[in-house]
């Protein structure tokens, strides 16, 4: 499945996505308060508003651009003071400049050729880009669901190879 179709799958089950998606640590948002140059933020791919709620709670004026209409509807309910727009960031035309552009585990879904240029285009002079990405770390033998997945996947699926890479990487830490 190509990247553009895969990134849209989150919108198929927004309530489940919201329950399963972990939140981000408070210290991350405390750091953003100290580092970002102003209160007007654009959040790319807000999903159901996990990070949005924390940003608004720290005094930021947040505008979100979310690809999925169902995800955006959940974010609007959860964070009514945020401005949540629906659209594709790669073709969206902003109607204002922002002090910062943020993305929480969403930036990698954007087109690698244009994401930095598009972000810079909506920033005011002196603005900042804050990208938060997470990595899934499993124990060396995986968890129950990943072991079950390995037993049921075809040899062409690279889950066991990925698990070996994670074990090697973890042993170097």
pTM of the shown model: 0.75
Comparing 70-74, 106-110, 119-123, the range with the smallest average pLDDT is: 106-110
Distance CA 80, CA 113 (A): 33
Q: Report the distance separating Cα 123 and Cα 94, nearest Å.
A: 10
- Summarize the chain as % helix, strand, coil (round to 5): 45, 20, 35
The pLDDT tens digits of the residues spanning 91-115 come to 999 999 999 999 999 999 899 999 9
Question: What is the mean predicted confidence (pLDDT) over 32-45?
Answer: 96
Q: Determine the 3-state secondary structure of 84 from DSSP.
A: strand
Residue 5: pLDDT band with limits 50, 70, 90: confident
Res. 150 pLDDT band, cuts 50 70 90: very low
């Amino acid at each position: 499945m190509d990247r553009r179709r895969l990134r849209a799958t989150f919108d198929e089950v927004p309530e489940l996505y919201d329950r399963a998606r972990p939140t981000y640590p408070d210290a991350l948002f405390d750091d953003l308060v100290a580092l970002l140059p102003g209160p007007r933020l654009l959040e790319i791919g807000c999903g159901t508003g996990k990070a949005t709620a924390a940003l608004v709670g720290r005094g930021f004026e947040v505008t979100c651009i979310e690809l999925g209409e169902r995800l955006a509807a959940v974010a609007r309910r959860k964070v009514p003071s945020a401005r949540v727009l629906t659209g594709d960031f790669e073709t969206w035309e902003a109607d204002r400049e922002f002090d910062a552009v943020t993305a929480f585990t969403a930036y990698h879904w954007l087109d690698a050729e244009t994401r930095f240029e598009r972000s810079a285009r909506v920033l005011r002079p002196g603005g900042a880009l804050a990208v938060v990405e997470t990595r899934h770390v499993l124990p060396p033998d995986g968890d129950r669901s990943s072991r079950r997945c390995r037993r049921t996947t075809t040899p062409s699926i690279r889950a066991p190879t990925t698990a070996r890479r994670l074990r090697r990487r973890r042993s170097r830490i």
